[in-house]
Every structure is written in structure tokens, then in C-alpha cells.
Copies of this chain bind each other. A is one copy, B any other.
Amino acid sequence: MDLSPIKVEIYRERVAKLQEMLRSKGLQAFLILTHENYRYFIGDLRHQPRAIIPAEGEPILIIFTQERKEVSLVTWVKDIRTYNHVGEMMKAVHDYFADEKFEKVAVEYLFSVPYFLLDRFKRTNPQVEMVNGNDLFFALRMIKSPEEIARIEKASNIADAALKKALEVLRDNLDRGLTENELAAEVEYFMRKEGAESTSFPTFINSGIRAYSLHGNATAKTIEADDVIVINLGPKVEGYGSNLARTVVVGKATQEQKQLYEIQQEAQRLVLEALRPGIKINQLDQIVKKHYAAHDLGKYYLGGFSHSLGLAFEETPMPTIFPRDSVIEVRENMVLALGHPILSVSGRGAARLEDTVHVTADGFRPLTKSIKELVEI
């Protein structure tokens, strides 16, 4: 699948839409400190992304002096301010905001914005009120363009292939004592060979007693006979991630494990059946809640079954992080991950299956397409 580059006009349009929102909210600028928004509005990737989009006029980039030539080649933005060290970078932002027109500026309240950094910007610019700008950029990022969906679809294809690869590696290496870390290394290498630029989260390989984890990672633990393994893959293509999780059993699954998995699989099926524009995120959650309750599993319901994804591994709507996102309505061209929370019952079993789907006018189109059933290997 060849991806055509995203055109400059698209970035200009995104900036223009954001500027309209800034003006309508009485905000004079948006300060970008994350890779996600730098990529979304500017179209480039810097290790330390720093940009300002004023409510009127052209965006400005703040970059290391010796990167100016490269940046001017790769970006459409003309106003480039430079710095040599962090102090000068802070000063560049300060000097820009020194103009008295800047009273209220939107900033990002995201996982990827460090407390000390935003705190320092606030202290350096005490005359500027820095307000949560998530609603603005997520209003745009929530609805994906065809270019964005193509990238998530390519990432989803890689995730599907990588799951197959993971099962192969498991089958071929179980006897010699494969660790979670070794499996993660093989799968991540495979994903990059297939065209992923990286992953949007560290690969989860949660095996045995670790399978009950809410989240996860990969450790030096050896994968053993009878282990349940929860695998979660998040390959990224040009910034856009996919999300695929499956549950695997080494050997034969117990009856309890099978039952739990089937209940979780049915939960996802029920949510997919209901998924269409107009339904609210918390209505999707209610379906899961009722379904768990009908199976006497009410207390294992964790909420937040569905979340959006794209440039970030979780983005609005992301009800487990921002509870008020629960009331957001599903809309056409959202991309959602369904099956975020695990059905985990310590000592009995653990079941996760999470898929990435593209919401269409009358339902959805699956982007990840791996086998849904519990895998025994």
C-alpha cells in the first residue's frame, strides 16, 4: 500500500480551522509542545516540537539554529525562530507572547506534555493565561481524513501480520524457553520490517500471572506451559497507530478461561453491532456493563470499552482518561479501538481482544482483521 504524501493545503486548512476556533473562544494562540499536534498541524517531526499557531496570521516554529536549513526544506511554515539552548527556546516563546494582545493561550493537556515544562512556560509568561485547548484540536483530530485512515489501515495490516508472526515465534520457540522480552523484540522488529516507523506504546506480552494486568509491558519472564498470554500491538505508520490485542493460551485453555474469553468476544460483538454515527461512547459502555452483569461479572466491568486513536495511542474520546469524553457521540470517519479494558479475574482467567475500526455512515469497517477466537498454541 503506497501512501501519497499529505499535501501542504491540508495542513493549511487544519491551521485555518483551528484559528477560527481560537477566535471564537477568545483565545489568541495555541502553543504546541507535542509530536502529535506538531505533526498534525505542521507536518514535521522534531525531537522537541515547539510551535505557536496564533489566532490570526502565520504559525511560527521554534527550532535549533543549525536545523533551520533542513526545516525550511521540509516545512511549509515560513516564520522560523531559532535557539541554541533551552533558555533561548523559552525566551523565544516569551518574546513572542510579550505582545500585549496575548491574554489567553490554548495549551495541550496530554500525557506527552511534562508538568515541569508547561509549568515553566506558565512561570515564564505570567501575563498569559494558559488554558486547556484539548477541545479545539481534538474537534479536528477526532474526525479522520482519507489520508489519515489510509495510514491507520496500513498500520492495522502490519498489526495483523505481526500477530501471526507472534504466534509463529511462540510455536517455534516455546520449548527452548522464550521470554516475553524476546517475543516482543521479534514482533517489533517484524513490524518495522513491514514498514512501521515505531510503536505507539511498548508491546504488551503479559503471560501467566501477568496476564491479569490492566495494562502491561514485556519482561524477562519466561513463557510457560498453560500460560494465558495477552498480546497488545501498536505499530505506527507516519505517526498513525493501530491497536490490536488478542489472548493466547499455551496448550489447552481451561473451561473458565474459555468462558471468560467468549463473554469478552461477545461484548465486542455487541458493541460492534450497535456502533454507528449518533450513538454515544457511554451507550457503548452500557452494552458491555449489562452483558457482564448478565454473566454475573458486574464487578469486573472497568468502563472505557472504546476510545479513539490516531496520532496518539489514545485520543478523544478517551473516557478512561477524561471521563467527560463519555458523552461524545460517535461520528462518521472516527477511528476507534474497541475492547480497551481487559476482562480480568485473578485466578480464573484473562480475556482481551481489541480491534481498530473505521466508523462509516451506517456502521463500521474493520481495519484490524485478525482471527477473533481464543488461540491455543
Contacts and interface: CB of A to CB of B under 8 A. Distances in A.
Contact of A192 (B116, B185, B210): B185
A196 B5 CA distance: 35
Contact of A193 (B45, B185, B210, B345): B185
Contacts of A198: 202
A68 B68 CA distance: 51
Interface stretch (A150-158, A211-219, A266-274): A211-219
B114 A112 contact: yes
Interface in A34-83: 45-48, 64-70, 73
30 contacts: A45-B219, A46-B215, A47-B217, A65-B346, A66-B342, A66-B346, A67-B346, A69-B209, A69-B212, A69-B346, A70-B212, A70-B213, A73-B209, A85-B302, A85-B320, A86-B320, A86-B321, A109-B115, A110-B115, A110-B116, A111-B117, A112-B114, A115-B115, A115-B119, A185-B192, A188-B192, A189-B192, A197-B218, A197-B219, A197-B220
Chain A interface bracket (under 10, 10 to 19, 20 to 34, 35 or more): 35 or more
A374 interface: no
Interface in A208-247: 209-210, 212-220
Contacts of A210: 70
Interface string A79-119: 00000111100000000000000000000011111111111
A110 B226 CA distance: 40
A310 interface: no
B213 A47 contact: yes
Contacts of A47: 213-217
Q: Count chain B CB atoms within 10 A of each CB in A46, A115, A198, A210 and give the residue with the most.
A: A115
A177 interface: no
B197 A189 contact: no
Contact of A118 (B115, B209, B304): B115
A161 to B, nearest CB: 15
Contact of A185 (B66, B189, B321, B323): B189
Contacts of A202: 198
B64 A214 contact: yes
A124 to B, nearest CB: 13
A350 B69 CA distance: 14
A111 B114 contact: yes
A259 interface: no
B113 A66 contact: no
Contacts of A109: 115-116, 119
Interface in A140-197: 181-182, 184-185, 188-189, 192-193, 197
